[in-house]
Structure 1
Amino acid sequence: MKVLLVGEFSRLHNSLKEGLQELGHEVYILGHQDGFKNYPVDFPIQKKWDSGFLKKIKVTVHTIFGFDISSYCTYIQFNKNKSKFTGFDVIQLINENSFYCQYYYEKKILDFLFQNNSKTYLLSSGYDYLNVKYCFENPNYKSGIQGYLAGKINPKSFENVLKFRTASFKKLHQFIYSNIQGIIASDIDYHIPLLQNSKYLGLIPNPVNTIKIDFQPLRISDTIIIFHGINEANYYKKGNDYFEKALSIIEKKYDNTVQIITTRNIPYSTYIDLYNSAHVVLDQTYANDQGYNALEAMAKGKVVFTGAEKEFTAHYNVTERVCINALPDIDYLVHELSFLIENPNEIIAIGKRARAFIEKEHNYILIANKYLEVWNSKTTSY
């Protein structure tokens, strides 16, 4: 099978590609390269007019004329190489805005892909029209939108989410849905909003290539190291404010027993060096399931504060904790951290179970096979 995976921002498509290749398939990735982690892309699209003086010009042009220069540049890059994006058995879009374009150019690109390839599937692995609609209609549903609803995030900073509520993105959503064979969710957070959707084919867990992630059994001497890596652009969306307040209490309470490492917008190589030394990793408070960052940390044997709600434990039949379900609740976070600090053997046990869980439920070859089954039979659900 010849497969084109469109978009990459978490290593999901790279891990899926590696699994499919192990099974003998021909696979390519098309999309922008993430500036922070710079995941491999076979057909890269360069982000242009996206920083400095050129960005100011772009914003001015868009404000006056409604024309987005970056979208046009992306379309031109795609169009120059469009002959390479035909004849695929399967195309999979990582979300409803895989090319980061405005409606007009995103539709032109997608229309070409729909017309010149056999089947197209859509992943729900981040915010999209239906997910955002569900979260706003269900404000108690655990999601990053809760930070916005609480007034902590201003609309300009939340534009990458709010755009899915606009008329043009609703129109784009309808266009995509009329051309795809089905939609697949990558975890419980995206699964629940799609349960009543006629095109929903089910949940397929994120693939993780554990061959590329070393498991280091946790060893604890006198100090427990807690790592909190902050991307300030997502500060309130991830619930970092709750983590910081909880950590300030933990630091006073345990003093010499813990070492707290907090980073902000540091280079990825530095981030990984610090992160690798930790026993406990704080990921996010507004999730029902684990995203890709949490899964990679669990694969390394870390104890991760992330999403692990009852829907997650029921879906995977988890009876012992493989991570800590984080909540936007300072007292709760302090209680959970305190328990681990006072029971270091539990840190070691959870770390081992975390790795075993990833190997069992997220094995990249097993997951690649599940994708193949869905792509070949759209009535199959997981």
Structure 2
Amino acid sequence: MKAQWFNQVQQIGAERWQQAIGATDYPFAQYAFHAALEESGSVGGETGWYPEYILLMEDDDTPVAIVPTYLKTHSQGEFVFDWSWADAYQRYGHRYYPKRVWAVPFSPVTGPRIFTALDPQGNSEESLGLYAAVGDLLTQRTKEQKTSSWHLLFTKLHVKHAFEHDPASLRLSCQFHWFNRNYRDIDHYLEHFSSRKRKTARKERNKVIQQGLHLERKLGTGLSVEEIDFFYLCYQSTYGKRGQHGYLTKAFFQQLIQTMGEQVLLVFAYQNENLVAASWCFFDEHALYGRYWGCLQEFDCLHFEACYYQGIEFCIEQGLQHFDPGTQGEHKIARGFEPVFSHSVHYIENEGFREAIGAFCKEEADAVVLYHQETTKRLPFKSI
């Protein structure tokens, strides 16, 4: 097998890309997703995200895998926070940036980070050798380019075993995900809550109705230009409230509606027929991935309805088994989202910093395990 580097998706081309990733509908593996990031200006240019994709091929040039990596000049949009590491480098007179992330930009979604026809679902133990080989390749690239590090973000649990004996640090964090246990509908789902928690959930949903709000789910293929414009206004308003600007351009969302609309779900909230809020999700045959949300007015419990309950209903109706609503957020627990571990791998070139960061990751992991145990006890489900 051999590897070739590219800094634009067009250099690989849609046909070779799709052949390399094989029979997967994982949204974040698709050529269309990465092309939209580039062509919309959401990566590249002055964004601080500089693509360097690896195409893995058999000796006869048959494409068998895509590995998305990015040189970064900052740590924004990653959701595995390493600003303290960058600060430590600066205090000791070293340069942390540029670094490399092996990740899907702006998407804290656990999944495969080698998109390969050899293992389209990313679950095979046999793929560990491929991850280890790519890790070696990135370490070599780190030395050649004199960058500080590489970081594999939101990888699957079994993948970390490929790096357990390498000079790389394994980092643990916690998210909250929903799992479908053959629920017939959302009322059947809520019946699995304790009486008090079930009453609270139903009260939240009723509050939305009492404020004159109603919600509607729409697939990307059925959206109007006005609806996309409204969603983008909501998306930017979420960042604007924190004095920031959203990472993704309007052109990114517009292009995805054209190229991946069948894998996009939007939830719109109306009051008196006027749009007031929207959330954006991706989905495949297995899971729903909640990504972006915003509202132009504040309404009690609307966030819970638009971002959680509506997604749960969609999963049950479509037979999806898993709902990943995004990173962080203990408020998800009361709605039945369970704590799950997420994993990342970090190779630090400087040996002194490598040892310090490795010790930090081990200490942090102990705290994360305790946090996982504590939040599990707060789930709303009946005791069995």
- Specify if TM > 0.5: no
Point out the structure with the larger strand share.
2
Point out the structure with the larger helix share.
1
